[in-house]
């Protein structure tokens, strides 16, 4: 069975020869042609086919692609020379030409050489495009594999923290809160499973996921802790890479609110301004921030994912003040 690739190749060849025939028809008045003119045209056309296909399927793969340029040039010259000589001899021997044999030979030689060079150029361009597509395909597979690995690193980290929170509540006999966390956790688990299979997710679903996560943290933490999440500028739904913001939210609770005080806070905001997305995370500093900053694998993974998904279209700024930690993520959608 003929493959679709071979069918496309056959159609391109037919198109090329069809264009050549069309040019002949447009430049000549076929009504005045006699049998000798048709015979001459057939000889030239067959000779062009010989040069074209021997060059395409013998000389180029065996010598040009193998970087044996001297061999390729030599064999191509011999092919063109012998074909031009054959055409000239046939035409002159049958007395089909009105010009002398040397002039016919030179004209034929130049025409066949131009055809061979055109064929070689087209083949080189096609091979270059094929290699570029293959390289792009391999690169995309590698990027997808790396992104999947990074997403897999996000999910266990998040689940580990949530399960720790659930365990802490159960050991403190806070069963009602544990039940609320279990329900929220089921929604979060469902979203994690869905988003892990997608390259892009609805921003509205991502926001709902963050709100569910924050509701878990509010249950766990003291009521004195100020936890806020503000959303603005979302007129129509847009799509973003999944789980981009959760590392910043997790980081605020892990490193900022590990020690609860009367002034503890974690404030988050997400806004759309035209084609620009801004996510900001601010939190009070915890005592162990200096020691734990070295182990922020979530932020490191986020940087890698942003570089892979939004190269040259993102900015991640992290600022540490005396009593506040601030992260701003800007993405050009």
Domain range annotation of the chain? 4-135, 174-332
Tally the C-alpha atoms within 13 A of residue 254's C-alpha that lie toward its C-beta.
Answer: 21
> Which pLDDT value is given to residue 293?
47
Is it the case that residue 155 has pLDDT exceeding 60? no
Distance, CA of 209 to chain centre: 27
Question: Nearest-5° angle of CA 294, CA 308, CA 243?
Answer: 65
- Report DSSP state, residue 295: G
Q: How far is Cα 225 from Cα 219, in angstroms, rounded to an integer?
A: 11
Is it the case that residue 15 has pLDDT exceeding 70? yes
- What token pair was written down for 249? 């939210």
> Which pLDDT value is given to residue 290?
47
Q: Which residues, 6 or more positions from 85, have their beta carbon under 8 angstroms from its beta carbon?
A: 105
Q: Identify the top-confidence range among 88-102, 175-189, 214-228, 259-273.
A: 259-273
Name the pLDDT band for 18 (thresholds 50, 70, 90).
confident
Q: What is the mean pLDDT of residues 16-25?
A: 74
Name the pLDDT band for 291 (thresholds 50, 70, 90).
very low
Beta-carbon count within 10 A of 104 CB: 19
Position of tokens 């000889």?
Answer: 43
Q: Which residues, 6 or more positions from 131, have their beta carbon under 8 angstroms from its beta carbon?
A: none
- What token pair was written down for 238? 């847009």
Name the pLDDT band for 294 (thresholds 50, 70, 90).
very low
Q: Are 272 and 234 in contact (CB under 8 A)?
A: yes
Strand positions, DSSP E, 61-128: none
Of 192 and 86, the structure prediction assigns the larger pLDDT to: 86
pLDDT in tens, 263-275: 788 999 999 999 9
* Count of helix runs (H) and strand runs (E) in the chain: 9, 7
> Which pLDDT value is given to residue 279?
97
Q: How far is Cα 155 from Cα 105, in angstroms, rounded to an integer?
A: 74
The H or E element containing residue 49 is helix 35-54
CA distances from 5 to 9, 12, 287, 330 (A): 6, 11, 64, 43
Residue 181's nearest CA partner among 163, 156, 195, 205 is 163
Of 69 and 13, the structure prediction assigns the larger pLDDT to: 69
Q: Are 286 and 261 in contact (CB under 8 A)?
A: no
Q: What is the mean pLDDT of residues 247-275?
A: 81
User: Do the strands 324-332 and 314-320 form a parallel or antiparallel pair, or are they unpaired?
Assistant: antiparallel
Is it the case that residue 282 has pLDDT exceeding 80? yes
Tally the C-alpha atoms within 13 A of residue 104's C-alpha that lie toward its C-beta.
Answer: 20
Q: Output the pTM of the full model.
A: 0.56
The H or E element containing residue 205 is helix 203-220
- Report DSSP state, residue 224: T
Q: Are 227 and 218 in contact (CB under 8 A)?
A: yes
> Which pLDDT value is given to residue 229?
95
- Report DSSP state, residue 188: H
**Share above pLDDT 90 across residues of the chain, in percent, rounded to a whole number:** 17
- What token pair was written down for 326? 């601030």
pLDDT in tens, 309-330: 898 899 999 988 878 889 999 9
Minimum mean pLDDT among 67-81, 89-103, 282-296: which range?
282-296
Residue 191's nearest CA partner among 222, 166, 167, 159 is 159
The H or E element containing residue 268 is strand 265-273
> Which pLDDT value is given to residue 295?
42
Q: How far is Cα 200 from Cα 34, in angstroms, rounded to an integer?
A: 67
**Share above pLDDT 70 across residues of the chain, in percent, rounded to a whole number:** 78
- Report DSSP state, residue 285: P
174-332 in CATH: which number?
3.30.565.10
């Amino acid at each position: 069975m003929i493959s679709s690739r071979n069918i496309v190749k056959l159609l391109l060849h037919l198109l090329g020869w069809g264009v050549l025939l069309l040019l002949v028809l447009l430049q000549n008045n076929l009504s005045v042609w006699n049998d000798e003119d048709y015979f001459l045209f057939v000889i030239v056309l067959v000779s062009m086919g010989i040069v074209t296909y021997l060059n395409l399927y013998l000389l180029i793969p065996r010598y040009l692609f193998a970087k044996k340029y001297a061999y390729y040039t030599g064999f191509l010259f011999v092919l063109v020379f012998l074909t031009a000589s054959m055409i000239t001899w046939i035409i002159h021997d049958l007395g089909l030409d009105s010009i002398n044999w040397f002039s016919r030979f030179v004209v034929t030689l130049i025409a066949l050489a131009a055809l061979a060079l055109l064929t070689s150029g087209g083949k080189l361009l096609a091979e270059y495009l094929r290699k570029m597509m293959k390289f792009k395909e391999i690169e995309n597979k590698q990027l997808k594999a790396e992104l999947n690995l990074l997403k897999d690193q996000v999910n266990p980290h998040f689940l580990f923290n949530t399960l720790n929170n659930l365990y802490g509540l159960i050991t403190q006999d806070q069963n009602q809160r544990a039940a609320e966390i279990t329900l929220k956790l089921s929604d979060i688990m469902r979203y994690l499973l869905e988003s892990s299979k997608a390259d892009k997710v609805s921003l509205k679903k991502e926001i709902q996921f963050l709100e569910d996560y924050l509701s878990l943290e509010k249950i766990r933490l003291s009521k004195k802790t100020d936890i806020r999440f503000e959303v603005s500028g979302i007129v129509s739904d847009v799509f973003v890479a999944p789980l981009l913001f959760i590392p910043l939210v997790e980081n605020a609770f892990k490193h900022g609110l590990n020690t609860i005080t009367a002034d503890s806070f974690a404030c988050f905001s997400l806004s759309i301004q035209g084609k620009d997305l801004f996510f900001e995370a601010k939190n009070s500093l915890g005592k162990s921030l200096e020691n734990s900053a070295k182990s922020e694998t979530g932020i490191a993974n986020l940087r890698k994912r942003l570089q892979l998904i939004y190269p040259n279209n993102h900015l991640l700024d992290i600022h540490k003040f005396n009593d506040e930690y601030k992260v701003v993520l800007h993405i050009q959608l």
